[in-house]
């Protein structure tokens, strides 16, 4: 609890501290910087440097070569890390998500290219099967059910090939129970004890992932919804249980997802656990801001920066966002 004010009006006039930019800057409580940003990026396997995604204005799919350039850009802009997500061609998808455990697959090649181009930039990989499955689910599907423990075996395989390709952070986004513990055990056994895990600990079954599923090409594939594994948007106590489990299983960092609609969850997690907690400003949040701005209904740059401030104010260690390079450029200008 903060202390109550010592004085009342007119002795206390809060507007005094707002009268000029220098004093507003001087008393500002939180301020996002490029160091708070993880650049969310979709990669594809073709030659074209950038392929636009209709619902993600200004956040196209990158080729592997373009992604390597982007890693250098991140370094120059002071962005510490990039989170990479793959667009997989339809014919490479199957029910088990086989392409997701191919050590020569798109993700591993992208990781290697980015680490070669800019080794100082951290690379984070998504651990989940949905970009690779023909049904679009994050796990193995049998008779309409997502199997928990058999999925974990696949996720462990995926984790190991990603870590061996050079991924610094593994970020399981699948929401299977017990996967963080299994990943941590396997990493230890493989001598990969320095690989970090950022758990998508409190991840909700959200409508705000829509544009992402377009971007990675899983929107058409998805049969049904993800409500049997992702969290119910009405729940808050459950988020604390999920986070506690992932920390106990060996997560180094945790994440709340989506971002802005779940700032209350973020604040609760930050207050409850002494661990870096990140927010994912997801594709739908990005698309909403961009669509409104491009219609002239919002001031684009101000809205972007204000959204990033909100995460810091709510206590986030950082934000995974498609706005990362844009925001860093605005601050640097």
Which residues are part of the catalytic machinery? 203, 257
DSSP annotation string for 165-194: HT-SEEEE-S--TTHHHHHHHHHHHTT-TT
Query: Which tokens sit at 332?
Result: 């640097």
Closest to 61 in 3D by CA, of 70, 69, 52: 52
If the CB atoms of residues 158 and 195 are measured against ligand PBG, the closer one turns out to be 158
**The one among 39, 87, 212, 262 contacting ligand PBG by CB under 6 A:** 212
CB of 174 to ligand PBG, least distance (A): 6
Interface with ligand PBG includes 39 (CB under 6 A)? no
Closest CA to 261 of 240, 220, 297, 289: 289
How far is it, in rounded angstroms, from Cα 131 to Cα 129? 6
Joined together, the tokens standing for residue 91 give 């014919």
Asked if 84 and 125 touch (Cβ cutoff 8 Å), the reply is: yes
The answer to whether 85 and 41 are in contact (CB under 8 A) is yes
**Residue 205 vs 244, nearer CB to ligand PBG:** 205
User: Which x/- pattern, by CB under 6 A, does the window 163-192 give for ligand PBG?
Assistant: ----------xx------------------
Nearer to ligand PBG, 12 or 207 (CB): 207
Of the two residues 169 and 282, which places its CB atom closer to ligand PBG in the complex? Answer: 282
The window from 72-80, 102-110, 206-214, 296-304 that contacts ligand PBG (CB under 6 A) reads 206-214
Q: Of 42 and 118, which has the nearer Cβ to ligand PBG?
A: 42
Written as six digits, the tokens of 309 are 């401030």
Task: Locate the DSSP E strands across 152-291.
Answer: 169-172, 196-203, 253-257, 277-281
Q: Is 126 in the site for ligand PBG (CB under 6 A)?
A: yes
Stretch near ligand PBG under the rule CB under 6 A, chosen from 111-119, 124-132, 271-279, 307-315? 124-132
Binding mask 272-311 for ligand PBG (x = CB under 6 A): ----------xx----------------------------
- Cβ at position 284, least distance to ligand PBG in Å: 6
Q: Which residue(s) pair with 124 in the sheet?
A: 83, 169
Q: How near is the Cβ of 65 to ligand PBG at its closest, in Å?
A: 23
Number of residues that bind ligand PBG (CB under 6 A): 12
128 lies in the binding site for ligand PBG (CB under 6 A): yes
By beta-carbon proximity to ligand PBG, the closer residue of 168 and 174 is 174
**Is there binding between residue 209 and ligand PBG (CB under 6 A)?**
yes
The alpha carbon of residue 19 and the mean position of all alpha carbons in its chain are separated, in whole angstroms, by 37
- Beta strand spans in the chain (E): 37-43, 50-51, 61-62, 81-86, 122-127, 140-142, 145-147, 169-172, 196-203, 253-257, 277-281, 318-321
Q: Which residue is nearest to ligand PBG (CB)?
A: 212
CA distance 200 to 100: 18
Residue 22: CB minimum distance to ligand PBG, A: 37
Chain positions contacting ligand PBG, by CB under 6 A: 126, 128, 130, 138, 173-174, 209, 212-213, 226, 282-283
């Amino acid at each position: 609890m903060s202390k109550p004010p010592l004085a009342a009006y007119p002795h206390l006039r809060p507007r005094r501290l707002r009268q000029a930019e220098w004093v507003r800057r001087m008393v500002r409580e939180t301020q996002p910087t490029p160091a708070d940003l993880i650049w969310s990026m979709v990669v594809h396997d073709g030659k074209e440097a950038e392929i636009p995604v209709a619902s993600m204005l200004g956040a196209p799919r990158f080729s592997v070569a373009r992604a390597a350039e982007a890693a250098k850009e991140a370094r120059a802009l002071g962005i510490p890390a990039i989170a990479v997500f793959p667009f997989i061609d339809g014919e490479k998808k199957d029910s088990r998500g086989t392409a997701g455990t191919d050590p020569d697959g798109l993700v591993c090649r992208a990781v290697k290219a980015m680490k070669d181009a800019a080794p100082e930039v951290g690379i984070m990989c998504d651990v989940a099967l949905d970009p690779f499955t023909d049904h679009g689910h994050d796990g193995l599907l049998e008779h309409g059910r997502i199997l928990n423990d058999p999925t974990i075996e696949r996720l462990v395989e995926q984790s190991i090939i990603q870590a061996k390709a050079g991924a610094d952070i593994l970020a399981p986004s699948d929401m299977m129970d017990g996967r963080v513990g299994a990943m941590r055990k396997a990493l230890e056994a493989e001598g990969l004890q320095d690989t970090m895990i950022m758990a998508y600990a409190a991840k909700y079954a959200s409508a705000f992932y829509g544009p992402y599923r377009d971007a990675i090409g899983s929107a058409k594939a998805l049969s049904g919804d993800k409500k049997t594994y992702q969290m119910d948007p009405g729940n808050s106590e459950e988020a604390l249980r999920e986070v506690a489990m992932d920390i106990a299983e060996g997560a180094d960092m945790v994440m709340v997802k989506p971002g802005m609609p779940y700032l209350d969850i973020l604040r609760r997690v930050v207050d409850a656990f002494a661990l870096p907690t990140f927010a994912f400003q997801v594709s739908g949040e990005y698309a909403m801001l961009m669509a409104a701005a491009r219609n002239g209904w919002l001031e684009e740059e101000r809205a972007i920066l204000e959204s990033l401030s909100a995460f810091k104010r709510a206590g986030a260690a950082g934000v995974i966002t498609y706005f990362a390079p844009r925001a860093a450029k605005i601050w640097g200008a």
